[in-house]
Amino acid sequence: PPGKYQVHLEIDGVSQAEEFEVVKDPRVGTSQDDFVAQFTLFKKIRDKLSETNDAINDLRNIKVQVDEWVNRSADHASGETVSSEGKALREKLSDVEQELLQVNYKGERDRLNFPVKLNRKLGELAAVVGSADFAPTKQSVDVFDDLSERIDVQLDILQHIVDEDLNRFINI
């Protein structure tokens, strides 16, 4: 939002600071409170999108590690059990991944064939909120709340999978 800010840069123990001001376009009649409301929603969207993408990265890392353990155990006596448990764990992780992210996109045209998922919807909401210098609409806030709630459900499921299923897989 418009206002006075300060930037700090530190390299090799040398610190510099500089003040600057973001000024409002004089042609825009938006109030400071509206700018702050817009910025606040932007930060919430950014934070939820980061949390979602971090969870997707974690989930994918777990899937890679599960695959590695399944491959390593293939020639051992417990190989069949590890493979079976690994497959079940991967399926649960994939179910969460497919709710958070459209995994079927192979090219631009696939957007016509497969629906967008939660992370993309959240990203598109950021574009709507930033489309003009106004406070976010009630609908934008409501959509953010709905998407956040739906994402949180998936993140809770993922946490349960990590706590229960992954722990069981590790202790085979």
Residue range 55-81, pLDDT digits in tens: 999 999 999 999 999 999 988 888 899
Structure tokens at 69: 């353990």
Report the candidate in 93, 109, 143 with the shortest Cα–Cα distance to residue 101.
93
pLDDT higher than threshold 80 for residue 109: no
| CB of 90 closer than 8 Å to CB of 68 | no
Confidence at 112, pLDDT banded by 50, 70, 90: confident
Distance (Å, whole) CA 47 – CA 72: 37
Residue 45: how many other CB atoms lie within 10 Å: 23
* pTM across the whole model: 0.87
Computed over every residue of the chain, the mean pLDDT equals 94
